[in-house]
Structure 1
């Protein structure tokens, strides 16, 4: 129905009172108000699910980080244990070879180390040196009870401190670890006579 007011034509007004928008499928606001029931229900459910997922993600991330730290510590411990076991095994074998090295040293001192036996002894000494074995204990060095074992004791005017005057059996070490202390004869400075009051 068309009516004329002041010479102009007015278009008819169409009002869509449907509660669901046919284009978007979403609930429409009625008379400028928002449809609270439908708009509020999905949002809290989505927020709750999102919060639960965030908590689960944080828990899984913490579990993963803890697991990685445990594995890293485990690897370090295993590597340290392997190194320690290897050092102990090498030290055990070399400790068993010390009497053989002592015999070779005595044979060398008496001039009996000749021919093929000399080559074998040199090879053995080179092999033990590659494994880290080193001899210590020389005549004239200060006596150190942590690396020397005193078998004999005397006094001498020639020394100013306790000194190794004779090496009876050399000591051996691997790195800082002493396998056997050097067995030595120790001389101390002569005691000065105490002046007596007469």
Structure 2
């Protein structure tokens, strides 16, 4: 009879060992939580969410730098404005001083002319001085400081400075009897008050 090669016996599956009593299958709650996968997982490095705070910090830093730059520019502009204002103010003062001095130049010219002719005609010197005085008073009035040397007017503490009280039966009480030093200007533009004597009040 022909003989057939016998096939090797197939390996039988290992028998399942019974689970000993008292030991159950682990529940899902006992299993460890799945951790982050990939390289570097579990080594303490920040995850992907931590990288989102870096752009926010960069925006804050940029905004702070822009505000500081604007603040420095504002300070520089303010300092330049202050210096320019000081220069303009000093220039205006110089212009006003020059204008006032130029207004008095004709007065000096007339004084020198009167002194030149004083030797030839001594009597004319008085008329020359009076004319120069009137010219100087006119200059002050044009500059906004009119002269006050009136008598017989009521005493005004804003325009008069009392230097004496006299008994004058012909003058009403409280009126200016004599002006010892004229005053110039009015109100806030007053150079000085007039020094006067006033009639005694009864």
Instruction: Please tell me the TM-score bracket, short chain as reference.
Output: 0.3 to 0.5
More strand as a share of residues: 1
Structure number, greater radius of gyration: 2
TM-score (ref. length: structure 2) = 0.46
TM-score (ref. length: structure 1) = 0.46
